[in-house]
């Protein structure tokens, strides 16, 4: 039996790259899929309704069930509309994959306010808005739902100059994931995040075309991990951040390092100057 037979999944940003791979993998595992994508450019501008429609047709041609959603994520109203599409088309919702993303690169002193707002709206507010609507639907229906968010090495342990909005939003997604996981635990709703590395138009914009074997950065390689986290088999897994880089799965952490001894009398500037470099470790 297919692991997701009878289940309904939403994938945002499902028209290209990772989202397309996730939607196809979920459908192949038996899920009926809402393919959400406005078809915008990397900077969030423009629209192309054919992007989502093409993935819907691919899924249907392979024997699966899918329907398009053209709502641009980034508002509570949009999140509710996307969830409503799933309920109207398929009658239920079991899985949400928050994948939609845009980007733009600017130095911090010249980062345009409108670009900042667009990027944070899609990555962070969009994740919140869709999770908000999906969580309410899952809890009310008594479903052991699965919410998967997308973060990035830029929000964990990698620094890419020029990506202030993207990195800030992706760091926020990590914290949001953990809060949703805690709130979902009493209801059997899990929430995890994935920090993927794959060859997509966004990663190419960040990193350029990497010299790799054709399959090393194939978005389809993440399909099994997404299907697992969307399935009943992952019931005990929640609040985790999974990294996926060149076929290797890891756990992304933002840990507190070794603490320096407390001072009952407080710290002096000289003591901080002497001790903080020891805490930070070797430079470079």
Catalytic residues: 166, 170
In angstroms, rounded to a whole number, what is the distance separating the alpha carbons of residues 117 and 122?
A: 9
Whole-number Cα distances in Å, 117 to 13, 38, 103, 136, 214? 18, 18, 11, 26, 35
- Which parts of 118-274 are beta strand (E)? 146-150, 190-197, 241-245, 248-251
Q: Give every CB contact of residue 152 below 8 A, 6+ residues apart in sequence.
A: 158, 166, 167, 170, 195, 196
* Burial class of residue 106 (count of CB atoms within 10 Å of its CB; 0-12, 13-18, 19+): middle
Tokens 């470079």 correspond to what residue?
284
What are the two backbone dihedrals, phi and then psi, of residue 85, each rounded to the nearest 5 degrees?
A: -60, -45
Tokens 């808005």 correspond to what residue?
129
In angstroms, rounded to a whole number, what is the distance separating the alpha carbons of residues 49 and 194?
A: 27
């Amino acid at each position: 039996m297919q692991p997701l037979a009878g289940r309904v999944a939403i994938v945002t940003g499902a028209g290209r790259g990772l989202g397309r791979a996730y939607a196809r993998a979920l459908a192949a595992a038996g899920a009926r899929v809402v393919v959400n994508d406005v078809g915008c450019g990397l900077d969030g501008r423009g629209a192309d309704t054919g992007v989502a429609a093409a993935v819907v047709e691919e899924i249907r041609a392979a024997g699966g069930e899918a329907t398009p959603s053209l709502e641009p994520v980034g508002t509570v109203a949009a999140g509710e509309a996307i969830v409503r599409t799933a309920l109207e088309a398929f009658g239920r919702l079991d899985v949400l994959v928050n994948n939609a993303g845009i980007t733009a690169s600017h130095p911090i002193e010249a980062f345009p306010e409108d670009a900042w707002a667009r990027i944070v709206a899609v990555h962070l507010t969009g994740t919140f808005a869709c999770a908000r609507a999906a969580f309410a639907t899952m809890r009310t229906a008594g479903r052991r739902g699965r919410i998967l968010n997308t973060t990035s090495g830029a929000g964990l342990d990698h620094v890419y100059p020029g990506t202030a909005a993207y990195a800030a939003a992706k760091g926020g997604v990590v914290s949001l994931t953990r809060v949703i996981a805690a709130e979902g635990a009493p209801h059997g709703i899990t929430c995890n995040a994935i920090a993927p590395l794959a060859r997509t138009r966004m990663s190419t914009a960040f990193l350029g075309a990497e010299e790799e074997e054709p399959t090393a950065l194939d978005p389809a390689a993440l399909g099994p991990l997404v299907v697992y986290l969307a399935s009943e088999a992952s019931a005990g897994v929640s609040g985790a951040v999974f990294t996926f880089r060149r076929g290797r799965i890891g756990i992304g952490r933002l840990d507190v390092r070794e603490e320096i001894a407390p001072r009952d009398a407080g710290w002096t500037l000289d003591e901080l100057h002497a001790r903080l470099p020891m805490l930070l470790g070797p430079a470079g």
